[in-house]
Structure 1
Amino acid sequence: MAATAALTQGLERVPDQTGYLVICDGAVLASSGDLENDERTAGVISELVNTACAFRLPRCPRVVFGEHSFLVTISGQKLFVVKRQNSVREPVIV
């Protein structure tokens, strides 16, 4: 339990997060929320990161969809993935 808490420290404090994954070698080490036990998403993100490693990308890639984003941070052999709700911007009326 303490090992899992150390892995996920800080992930739950990301603003507007709806879930997270900690992945190592394609296996889910920890998960929560919308990504709880989501092996399929873990596999897709692992493949995405492996492919992206062939290119020069920002240290923390971000995959943006309409309503949410996946933020990925790589540390050692682990991938830390946070699913985050995108903030909806109100239209500006001039």
Structure 2
Amino acid sequence: MLLMERIPDQIGYLVLTEDGAVLASGGELENNERIANIILGLVTLTDKIDPKTTHNDAYNKITIVYSTHCYVICLSNKKIHIVKKKLRPTTNQQIQTQNLLDL
């Protein structure tokens, strides 16, 4: 298995079975069953999307982006791999954040 700890800017990870059981975890996501259940629900929801409405017939990766971090969810070898990564703000992101604060 890929060493999840070696992923750059990784602050937590989970590896789940298809039914949501935690196989491995670490960092901020260590043994975090709440996040595991949320991600499993999201993956299950994407399975219900009609493939005729999208260009792809299946999803292999989902990214959820927040202002300071993101979750990258990949499906591989009948496992769900989740990585929480710290985002490095770019100048454009800093400007957008400042604009939101000014509202």
Please indicate the TM-score interval, normalised by the length of the shorter structure.
0.7 to 0.9
Tell whether 2:58 aligns with 1:64.
no
Q: What's the offset of the Cα at 1:58? A: 4.6
Give the percent of matched residue pairs that are identical in Structure 1 and Structure 2.
38
Tell whether 2:12 aligns with 1:12.
no
State the match for 1:30 in structure 2: 24
TM-score (norm 1): 0.80
Q: Distance in 1 between matches of 2:34 and 2:68?
A: 20
The residue identity in structure 2 corresponding to 1:63 is I
Matched length: 85
Q: Distance in 1 between matches of 2:30 and 2:38?
A: 15
Q: What's the offset of the Cα at 1:17? A: 0.6
Q: What's the offset of the Cα at 1:47? A: 0.5
Q: Deviations 1:17-36 (Å, cap 9, x if unpaired)? A: 10100011111110000000
State the match for 1:3 in structure 2: none
Unaligned runs of at least 5 residues, structure 2: 50-55, 95-103
Query: 1:61 is paired with a residue of what secondary structure?
Result: strand
TM-score (norm 2): 0.74
Q: Distance in 1 between matches of 2:67 and 2:26?
A: 21
TM-align CA RMSD = 1.8
Structure whose alpha-carbon radius of gyration is higher: 2
Unaligned runs of at least 5 residues, structure 1: 1-5
Q: Distance in 1 between matches of 2:76 and 2:59?
A: 14
